[in-house]
Structure 1
């Protein structure tokens, strides 16, 4: 296992020159720093984690923020933000892990949403230009009957490893990830919280004697493995 979460390391490095800035920015601004740090953590320099941080002061300030405010949101906040070309919900058709070698860490074919930040910005807004690639997708509010949803939240590395252990998918490259169709038999959705993103993304670990890593989520987000109960898309504003 990596000695230190690569995204958390990159995030701490952004504040090393002025640790007090961690306390002066709001939750939306801190989340933006998390997203930008995720890009840095994907570089060769950060991918293996390891080593000690230059400043434990920065780490303690960041961890304090991650345990307060918007970052403590539980369950799946209702409504969610959903980017789409038109206000229709897609049919959820999950791919089998073997369809894409080594990609079982992410449920391809799921219906994706993200939570709204305190300033009203969707958590996925920074990733949308890269995914849309010039196509016009609008942002809608996805409303659903929250009391009927069975959701699993990845809020820590252990949460992800528990999911892998409970629903293992052994891929032919020798890795182990998640068999999402099996997860869908128990849960309607899996949410990666912002805190889970920081502590889990890119961390190399081992389950049942095989390597595993959560990758490619890039954002606080919810993967709906079934169409949400009572789902309805509404135009924002």
Structure 2
């Protein structure tokens, strides 16, 4: 990692996706164009899940995959997966459909999710076919035990920070720094003074997840989010949640 400039590093999510597409798609641009957003995101979710497979899931240069990565990012720019906006409705898995009161705290003790705030509420966007982008990670961790609810709100009133690239995450850490275990992280309690939500886009998941970013406060690495998702530091005043029909 130290031998390569940060801007030369590819996210392991994007690397694994490119390897998958290289093995299974022939005429790349044509096949990507024909691939539905739901199917493409399912491949992305599988690429994310490979972090638990024992493979080398670190950011690294991958010049042999640059042409595939460029084709994937072009494909994202043409479909709904490339839309960086926070859309209502969102999907949420929880035993109780009623959103809990949010009280954000710092200093996560979770080994698997040290870059996630404590006490926040999480949602994810819906694919065109109606599937939550969180579904595959949810089922892998909890099975199909937690009900799915639909969360509606007015996006126009949300104070939002969007992570669509490694530099975006670096800016968030630089603005709200917190140091722990030799790494720079987000001070979520300070972020909550200015922000209602932070949204990791599909492009951000593909390009920023597990990528080290240099900041004035040390190196930051976004880990543990594992899906396109939004973390809520304050609930919108007009938020409503209803059980989703499957």
Q: TM-score, normalised by structure 1?
A: 0.90
1:58 maps onto 2:73 in alignment: no
State how far apart, in whole Å, the 2-side matches of 1:74 and 1:194 are: 8
Structure 1 ranges of 4+ moved more than 4 A: 41-44, 98-104
- Cα distance change of structure 1 residues 13 and 100 upon mapping to structure 2, 3 Å threshold: closer
1:7 aligns with 2:13: yes
Deviations 1:16-69 (A, max 9, x none): 132343232111111111111112245554323323343443222101012121
Distance in 2 of aligned mates of 1:88 and 1:118: 25
User: In structure 2, what is the equivalent of residue 195 of structure 1?
Assistant: 203
Matched, 1:168 2:174: no
Whether the 8 Å contact between 1:143 and 1:232 is mirrored in structure 2 is yes
Decide whether aligned partners of structure 1 residues 24 and 75 sit closer, same or farther in structure 2, where only a CA change above 3 A counts.
closer
1:108 corresponds, among 99, 118, 140, to 118
Kindly indicate whether the alpha-carbon contact (under 8 Å) linking 2:38 and 2:127 is maintained by their aligned counterparts in 1.
yes
Give the superposition deviation at 1:102.
9.1
Deviations 1:117-173 (A, max 9, x none): 011111111111233256x321111011222111111011111000000000011x2
Once residues 11 and 126 of structure 1 are traced to their aligned partners in structure 2, the CA distance between those partners, rounded to angstroms, is 16
Within 5 Å, give how 1:85-104 maps onto structure 2.
85-97=95-107, 103-104=113-114
Q: Which of 220, 224, 229 is matched with 2:232 structurally? A: 224
- Matches of 1:223 and 1:7 in 2, distance apart? 20
Asked if the contact 2:108/2:117 (under 8 Å) is kept, the reply is no
User: Residue 136 of structure 2 aligns to a residue in which SS?
Assistant: coil
Q: How does 1:22-61 map to 2 (within 5 A)?
A: 22-41=32-51, 45-61=55-71
The TM-score normalised by the length of structure 2 is 0.87
Task: Name whichever of 50-59 and 25-34 sits farther off.
Answer: 50-59
> Once structures 1 and 2 are overlaid, which stretch shifts more, 205-214 or 61-70?
205-214
Q: Residue 214 of structure 2 corresponds to which residue in structure 1?
A: 206
Instruction: Report the count of equivalent residues.
Output: 235
The 5-angstrom pairing of residues 174-189 of structure 1 reads 174-189=182-197
Is the 1:82–1:112 Cα contact (8 Å) retained in structure 2? Answer: yes
* 1:91 CA drift (Å): 1.4
Q: Which residue of 1 aligns with 2:146?
A: 137
| 1:40/1:46 contact within 8 Å kept | no
Partners of 1:154 and 1:16 in 2: how far apart?
Answer: 27
1:150 aligned partner: 159
Between Structure 1 and Structure 2, the one with more helix by share is: 2
Tell me the C-alpha RMSD between the 2 structures.
Answer: 2.1
Deviations for 1:168-213, whole angstroms, at most 9, x for unmatched residues?
0011x21110001111111100010011000100112221252210
Distance 1:196 1:146 in 2: 19
Give 2:168's aligned residue: 159
